[in-house]
Amino acid sequence: MAQGKTLWQGLAQGWLRLHGRLPLSYHHAVARFLGWLIRCVVRYRVDVVKDNLKKSFPEKSAKELKAIEKKFYHHFANILTETLWFGSCRGDHGRKRLRDSHIVEITNPEVLNRLFRERKQVMIMQSHAGNWELIGGILNYTYTEPLEITTHTFAITYLPLHNKFWDSFMGENRQAPVADMDFTGYVPSQQIARTIFSNRDKHFCYSFITDQFPYGPNRKYSLRFMNRDTVIMPGAATVAARTDMAVIYLSFQCREEGGYTMTFVPITEHAGSMDPLDITQKYFNLLEEDIKAQPWNYLWTHRRWKKE
């Protein structure tokens, strides 16, 4: 049995892996019921969602907010079931399954390719929109021009979970499509500075989720986001500025027919010429535009505004 994994944890992981092999259409059908169950029976963070929506959209009526809430929980359930399905996309067959599903389509791969060639070091700043758990399959989402990044020139940063079993399970799940490809780019946030320094002379691309409530003692920076004073983490932008990376915002939107689109939106080609707070402000401005366009497409269950 792997590191500290109990028999029940091993059985649970095996069941989840087998369940993930069922068709994506099955998982989306389950999500329709699961969303109702989480919202109406379990009532998972319903009060948090209602409060976040009400304060973020003060101009909307109670009826409009209720509709967004219901649509959000369906979207939230899709994220859960799609993530489980994604974890089964392993090996050549799994990668073909992922690609054939069109669960994500990149609209403009040429933008990332150009910056990767010309600027060498590229940072992708993303958020809890779309389905962020699918980022590990990024090499399979292009249908026009293939991405020039590879499993050896791409890194995903993450914040380790407190529960060791779930941290291990989610780590394996997020790397499923590259599990057999000697991928070493799944990097805990505490080690990312060292990783960037070691790759400073190479072409390399990094993905950062940048909309969390700040962890650690440094909570002195804030800006206006979704009609609220919001404490931010400018760490990713600071690293990008110090190493003069190109910085891209990842717009991760829902398609009407299901699935998602990824669109690369350049923030700056020379982060060294900008104040990190200005980079972060541009990122949050772009994110706010996306949320207003698709109000349900954001993780409203997380306590983004903890100390108002």
Evaluate whether residue 188 is within a structural domain.
Answer: yes
Evaluate whether residue 38 is within a structural domain.
Answer: yes
Distance from C-alpha of 49 to C-alpha of 45, rounded to nearest angstrom: 6
Evaluate whether residue 2 is within a structural domain.
Answer: no
Evaluate whether residue 306 is within a structural domain.
Answer: no
Residue 100's pLDDT is 98
Maximum distance among all Cα pairs of the chain, rounded to whole angstroms: 54
Average pLDDT over residues 220-230: 93
Query: Percent of the chain beyond pLDDT 70?
Result: 97
Residue 200's pLDDT is 87
Evaluate whether residue 248 is within a structural domain.
Answer: yes
Residue 308's pLDDT is 55
Residue 54: name the closest of 62, 42, 46 by CA.
Answer: 62
Distance from C-alpha of 2 to C-alpha of 153, rounded to nearest angstrom: 29
pLDDT at residue 2 above 50? no
The number of folded domains in the chain is: 1
Count how many residues are written for the chain.
308
Q: Which domain holds residue 272?
A: 7-293
Distance from C-alpha of 144 to C-alpha of 135, rounded to nearest angstrom: 18
pLDDT at residue 215 above 80? no
- Alpha carbon 247 to its chain's center: 16
Please list, in sequence order, all residues whose beta carbon lies within 8 angstroms of the beta carbon of residue 28, skipping any fewer than 6 positions away: 78, 81, 82, 258
β-bridge pairing 260-268 and 104-106: parallel
Residue 240's pLDDT is 95
Evaluate whether residue 204 is within a structural domain.
Answer: yes
Distance from C-alpha of 147 to C-alpha of 287, rounded to nearest angstrom: 23
Report pLDDT digits (tens) over 198-214.
Answer: 998 899 999 999 998 88
Which structure tokens are listed for 195? 């990783």
Neighbouring C-beta atoms of residue 24, cutoff 10 Å: 20
Distance from C-alpha of 241 to C-alpha of 244, rounded to nearest angstrom: 5
Average pLDDT over residues 48-57: 97
Confidence band for 1, pLDDT divided at 50, 70 and 90: very low
Distance from C-alpha of 44 to C-alpha of 40, rounded to nearest angstrom: 8
In single-letter form, the type of residue at position 261 comes to: T
Contact (Cβ atoms closer than 8 angstroms) between residue 24 and residue 101 = yes
Neighbouring C-beta atoms of residue 172, cutoff 10 Å: 15
Evaluate whether residue 13 is within a structural domain.
Answer: yes
Please list, in sequence order, all residues whose beta carbon lies within 8 angstroms of the beta carbon of residue 166, skipping any fewer than 6 positions away: none
Evaluate whether residue 301 is within a structural domain.
Answer: no
